[in-house]
Chains A and B, each alone.
With several copies, the nearest count.
Chain A
Amino acid sequence: MINKTVPNVTQALKGVKNNMTLLLGGFGLCGIPEKAIAELVRLEVMNLTCISNNAGIDDFGLGLLLQQKQIRKMIASYVGENAEFERQMLSGELEVELIPQGTLAERSRAAQAGFPGFYTPAGYGTEVAEGKEVREFNGKMHVLEKAFEADFGFIKAWKGDEAGNLIFKGTARNFNPNMCGAAKITVVEVEELVSAGSLDPNQIHVPGIFIQRIFKGTGYEKRIEQRTVRSKT
């Protein structure tokens, strides 16, 4: 067993520098790497390119990096929950590339799996396809999309073992598995870190080979964006 554990978030983020490109898991505030984001704020690394489905809200998630103006460019699919984001984007302070959600997932997986490019129908005939190659297959037009290239990937899992094997919970899974191994260094934070052999080999969502560093985070806030309930009557 190859041990991937590091003692804390500081060790986990060693080597993160200005101008880097980061992949960050999560959908809305669900399954985001809270501890890595807090450390990025503390490190004051600037001029980042962040690839993540959303940009957080004003005071949580990637919104914390936006507040400090640490992000130069954001690649996302949906950014509708963040007023500061909209302000920076419309003023031109922040460069923004919006791409289809499925394309975002697959460009991550392509990087993980060593595919330089693939053809998808998503975005054909729209702004998204501008400047990209398009091509017909079986009578339908497709766009050539390319694998992401990133320096660090920040992943949030539910449970992990010393070997870096991961299990996610509910919809907190989302982009996290697809981003594992998609950057040069993949850093995972987990709520529960167990010894190798504790997890059923048949039920691992992401094998440890895709990750370089794993640490246990504490005190997860897991903020809910839209608390919707029904009454018990």
Chain B
Amino acid sequence: MALDKNGIAQRIAQELKHGYYVNLGIGIPTLVVNYIPKNIDVEFQSENGVLGMGPFPFEGDEDADIINAGKQTITTLKGASFFDSSTSFAMIRGKHVDLTILGAMEVSETGDIANWKIPGKMVKGMGGAMDLVASAENIIVAMMHTNRAGMSKLLKSCSLPLTGVGCVKKIVTELAFLEIGPTGFILLETAPGVTVEQVIQATQGNISVANDVCEMSF
């Protein structure tokens, strides 16, 4: 049985390590905060200028001057700080942010990612994504394995305009946990009840199966 969005977030959360500064993209990545492993400290950075983001404010406590990159009202935790955009991207570009989790429309077997534009149809812009993917050493993509028509989004090469080249390291979809290796996607874990065969079927790009492939455990 394929994972839902929360399941994807939960699997990604297992990749968090103590001491990580993490930048979460809009969408599924936002849900990762709900599954932080016990006994580790991580801090969340938002590129609009806050480190140490906390949960949403209690009703009535919203402050228009305190938002995240998704323009949602938020709170801050002890040890938080506010800063300007140039400093925020110094954190990102300077590799001080340890992990970037973001969504994608397409990922290629060489780690290219496309997530900001569908020519002639939708152009939201790249926001901070191009800076994030160009700089982060550690990028996990949270995405659906196929589109609504059942076509794979894990491709030989991206058909949409790129956000970054050869940058994605790991991918979590509703079907699987994969990494990018020298020869393409490597299937590391299947979602509960999903078979290796199903993942291979749903992947257009070159895919190999890790020797120790297993089912995700939560």
Contact = CB atoms under 8 A, between A and B. Distances in A.
Do A and B touch directly, given a CB cutoff of 8 Å in the complex?
A: yes
A217 interface: no
Interface string A194-225: 01110001101101111000000000001111
B164 A125 contact: yes
Contact of B126 (A29, A101, A222): A101
A229 B84 contact: no
B48 A30 contact: yes
Contact of A228 (B47, B74, B87, B161): B74
A126 interface: yes
Contacts of A30: 48, 64-65, 67, 71
B118 to A, nearest CB: 11
A109 B83 CA distance: 14
A126 B85 contact: no
B78 A197 contact: yes
A1 B89 CA distance: 20
A98 B134 contact: no
Interface in B64-80: 64-74, 76-80
Interface size class of B (residues with CB under 8 A): 35 or more
A178 B81 contact: no
Which of B19, B41, B63 has the most chain A CB atoms inside 10 A of its CB? B63
A61 to B, nearest CB: 11
Contacts of A175: 84-85
Given A122-B130, A226-B67, A174 B135 contact: no
B49 interface: yes
Interface string B106-130: 0000001000110010011111111
A121 B135 contact: yes
Interface stretch (A12-20, A41-49, A62-70, A76-84): A76-84
Contacts of B41: 1-3
B160 to A, nearest CB: 11
B181 to A, nearest CB: 20
Interface in A118-159: 120-128, 158
A189 interface: no
21 contacts: A2-B19, A2-B41, A2-B79, A30-B64, A53-B85, A76-B125, A78-B127, A90-B123, A98-B116, A101-B127, A101-B128, A101-B131, A114-B94, A122-B93, A126-B162, A170-B50, A175-B84, A176-B84, A207-B51, A209-B51, A227-B72
Interface of A: 1-3, 27-31, 53, 76-81, 86, 89-90, 96, 98-106, 108-109, 111-115, 120-128, 158, 161-163, 165, 168-178, 181, 195-197, 201-202, 204-205, 207-210, 222-232
Interface of B: 19, 21, 41-43, 45-52, 55-74, 76-97, 112, 116-117, 120, 123-131, 134-135, 161-166
